[in-house]
Amino acid sequence: MTTFLEQVKIAPSGRRCALLRGAALTRPPSAPTCPAVARRPRTRVQGVDLPTASDVEHAARTLRDVVGTSPLHPSPRLSAATGLDVWLKREDLHEVRSYKGRGAYNLVAGLSPEERERGVTCASAGNHAQGVAFACSRLGVRATIFLPRTTPRQKRARIAALGGPLVEVVVDGDTYDDADQQSRELARSTGAVVVPAFDDPRTIAGQGTVGLEVLDQLAALGRTPTAVVAPVGGGGLLAGLLTVLSERAPYVDVVGVEPAGAASMAAALAAGAPVELGAVDSFVDGAAVRRVGDWTHAVVAAHRPPLLAVPEGLVCVEMLDLYQSDGIIAEPAGALASAAIREHAVAAPGSTVVCVLSGGNNDVSRYAEVVERALVHEGLRHYFLVEFPQEPGALRMFLDDVLGPDDDIVLFEYVKRSNRETGPALVGIELQRPTDYAPLLERMGASGIRVQVVEPTSPLFRMVQ
């Protein structure tokens, strides 16, 4: 059986349109007919050509024997929950445990001999650094990778192991911006080539190979995708998918998903240009980008795909379900797409929808925070400032009169003060069901004890997460 790319290569010109648009596949009756497909003229941004579907196909040939094709697995859990035919594109199963090896390898492989001799550099605290290390070790190119001091030791060791002797890992600077500045200074002083994490046409083309694989894999199963849902950080993956699918399979909807606390692409589209967010929630670290790229924004702005924002708490709920129900370790950004379809209708019932599970580089130490955020999101864990009377039996009264039979205290911070009538305590309560919250508040009100709800937006809330 020929693959999608092989069909493109061998199809006579009279059949090329039908093959590219999937007419040979099992398609829903409502799928549009295929007009003539013309080669799209290149668009230039800052003097550089934006990628086309042909560039993505070239990248696929570059990557085929090195990066390999990631599996496409059905998700019975998400299919049952949504009424869709849901598939997970398992980018977490690459050697670098994310899709980032695609763009990094495609860029480094395309360097001239002179550029390779000068070496490359990048700054990253995660997946991009691993992708660059992987690419350079395979291509025999020297690399200097700058990491902020906040980078966990596990990730430092992983980057060094992937890169081997050709890759120097420099840990310095308090933030990613510090590391990025050092990387660019090295490039200026030595001529090393900077490998951007997302804002480069070669990177975009590499990431777009995910879309070609999806078409190929579903075609082999007699299916046609209605939508491909993907996480959005700097926009490289989304731009790559839009580039190839808009030309090769325009009947497929591409849906981008951002973390609610770092919706930088939505902000850029609203402003008409990339803007820097004043603050971001860094929990979904693989997609917590303050400013999207110029080239990624140009591609996304040209297509205006649907963009969804998912709260970080829902991401945590999905991470736990992926782990407990499906046996998949996903990083927060990797769970964005599948989290989104739990609450947003991205296609009609029964439609085939692919969620890109973009990565699985998650530290085990983070799961305590994941559980905490998930419980808060589901309305099962709440925090209060309770003004206890400074008298014997006050705590016993609170336990007897306020807590329900299934309520559990998970946090109690209290220091008794002898010179005050009341003393504040920070109390965390976990409920059996979300519907138990209203009765709990009623009992608190009837107790006569002053209670203040600690909202998730409160600075005090950060102490417990």
Q: Which residues are catalytic?
A: 100, 358
Count H helices, E strands: the chain? 18, 16
Mapped onto helix, strand or coil, the DSSP state of residue 27 is: coil
Q: Rounded CA gap, 245 and 53, in Å? A: 8
Print burial letters for 354-375: b (CB count within 10 Å at least 16), e (below 16).
bbbbbbbbbeeebeeebebbbb
Question: For residues 107 and 382, what is the distance between their CA atoms, to the nearest angstrom?
Answer: 48
State the maximum Cα–Cα separation within the chain, in Å, rounded to a whole number.
Answer: 90
3-state secondary structure of 79: helix
Sign of CA dihedral 218, 284, 323, 363: positive
In degrees, to the nearest 5, what angle opens at C-alpha 111 toward C-alphas 148 and 244? 90
Are the C-beta atoms of 26 and 224 separated by less than 8 Å? yes
Give the single-character DSSP code of 404. Answer: -
User: How far is Cα 454 from Cα 459, in angstroms, rounded to an integer?
Assistant: 9
Strand partners, 411: 428
For the beta sheet containing 253-259, the strands, ordered from the edge strand earlier in sequence to the opposite edge, are 72-74, 85-90, 352-357, 227-231, 253-259, 307-310
Helices (H), 291-335: 294-303, 312-326
